[in-house]
Chain A
Amino acid sequence: MNVPLKNAEQDMRAALARTPVPMAMLAELTHRCPLKCPYCSNPLEMIRKSRELDTETWIDVFHQAAAMGVLHVHLSGGEPASRRDLPELLTGAREADLYTNLITSGVGLTAAKFADLAERGLDHVQLSIQGVDGGTADRIGGYKGGFEKKMEVADWIAKEGIPLTINAVMHRQNLDRLADTIDLSVKLGARRLEVAHTQYHGWAYKNRTALMPTMGQVKRGGEIVAEARERLKGTLVIDYVTPDHLADFPKPCMGGWARVGLNVTPEGKVLPCHAAETITTLEFENVKDRPLAEIWDNGDAFRAYRGVDWMQDPCQSCDRQAKDFGGCRCQAFAWTGDAAAVDPACSKSPLHGEMRAAAIADGEVQADEFEYRLM
């Protein structure tokens, strides 16, 4: 039989045109948190407790997500342990047959509370660390005693045999301790380490001159990770992404807009990514008003940048469009006022040079004072 060769590009376009099945949901249960990290990924304007979704609504959202094909739910915040109903929410997520990941600072958990979560079937914990010693970590997190508490929590996680990922947000004031961060992760029994360079939106953008790493630090960081990955094969998996302004091509932000994951805010707004509200030209719908699946499939904000048809040049004619999806929409909007523009992290962006120069200049500023996150 004579079968014509398939056109790979046409296949790719057809696949991108179909509404994808989401893999993961980030459930921001609350914005409340005892820590005050100056790079917090929550928005500058935070949702107060009185506006948070109630227990039943969250559990309903978990069931809706599972029915859409979501496999992983990330219980996040703020600090998710700030919600008194965290145990009920965890049980609800497990009963919806979702894989549950608790993204926590550790602060607010007790041995008894944690044992209860483990008993209820918690699958995985992602524990943040702000530094590798109490002095540094507590100054960055703006919470005295936080580091010591985290070490205790890591011990409970290990005793329960729950897999642990350490999440270390890196910046100028802790990047020189990257090798120690890797060592500490191994010592705590982590299976994974996320070396997460600060993303400069919201709070982090406010604090960029105190956080932006120097070129030298970033280069050294990449080398340390490459060496450690080889040495720790089978012990620790290290996730690492080069910071935007030093890369030639942008990161495939969110694996593509509205393609892999979605985010629900404490008050129930459904976002294609946690920072999407910085794109002020978009409106976001709420789970209280419309079923989650409809918002995912047909919501204006989700359809706006799904696939590749919305792209302009240089993205539209770029052979990398299905690799990096034009980068980050929020960053494109912040720099150009048009979220459909190419991310300035891309070397094909006319603003790439300017962005790089600004980041390098921020990295050279000798000001270490933070403007801490406030509710």
Chain B
Amino acid sequence: MNAADIPFLPRGVRVKECKIREGWFLLAPERAVKLDQVGAHILGALDGQRDFAGVVAHLAAKFDAPVERIETDAGKFLTDMINRRMVEVA
């Protein structure tokens, strides 16, 4: 991920809370991916405005965590989602 990339959920991909399963899911064509806390917060930070650096800064401030660690974790997670065509970058 480059700092200036703006990751976003494309049309047809959305996050939903499932009350029955008590968890968050990423819904995509023919797929439902159960999200852990970290994944749900990363995707929750994608607002179509923040670039990757902004997403990292937002999460680091929110969780009072080191920027380097957030950068590594969020970068890995988003790259995987991009390869599965569930996240796109502008």
Contact = CB atoms under 8 A, between A and B. Distances in A.
A110 B38 CA distance: 43
Given A123-B12, A161-B10, A71 B85 contact: no
Given A21-B20, A191-B85, A71 B11 contact: no
Contact of A72 (B11, B27, B85): B27
A72 B21 CA distance: 14
Contact of B10 (A68, A72, A101, A163): A163
Nearest to B11: A161
Contact of A97 (B12, B16, B32): B16
B62 interface: no
Interface in B1-54: 10-14, 16, 18, 20-21, 25, 27-30, 32
Interface of A: 21, 23, 67-69, 71-72, 97, 99, 101, 123-124, 126, 160-163, 165, 191-192, 233-234, 237, 239
Contacts of A123: 11-12, 14, 27, 29
Contacts of A68: 20
B32 A23 contact: yes
8 contacts: A69-B20, A72-B30, A99-B14, A101-B29, A124-B12, A124-B30, A163-B11, A192-B30
B58 to A, nearest CB: 26
Contacts of A237: 84-85
Interface residues of B, number: 19
Nearest to B17: A97
Contacts of B29: 101, 123-124, 126, 163, 165, 191-192
B65 interface: no
Contacts of B16: 71, 97, 99
Interface string B49-69: 000000000000000000000
Nearest to A190: B29
B27 A99 contact: yes
Contacts of A126: 29
Given A69-B21, A99-B27, A163-B29, A234 B82 contact: yes
B1 to A, nearest CB: 14
A233 B84 CA distance: 9
Contacts of A67: 20
A123 B15 CA distance: 12
B32 A165 contact: no
Nearest to A123: B12
B14 A71 contact: no
Contact of B18 (A71, A161, A233): A71
A82 B12 CA distance: 24
B10 to A, nearest CB: 7
A192 B31 CA distance: 11
Given A124-B30, A234-B83, 20 more contacts: A21-B21, A23-B32, A67-B20, A69-B20, A71-B32, A72-B32, A97-B16, A99-B14, A123-B11, A123-B29, A124-B12, A161-B10, A161-B11, A162-B11, A162-B12, A163-B13, A163-B28, A165-B29, A234-B82, A234-B85
Contacts of A23: 32
Nearest to B84: A237
A123 B32 CA distance: 13
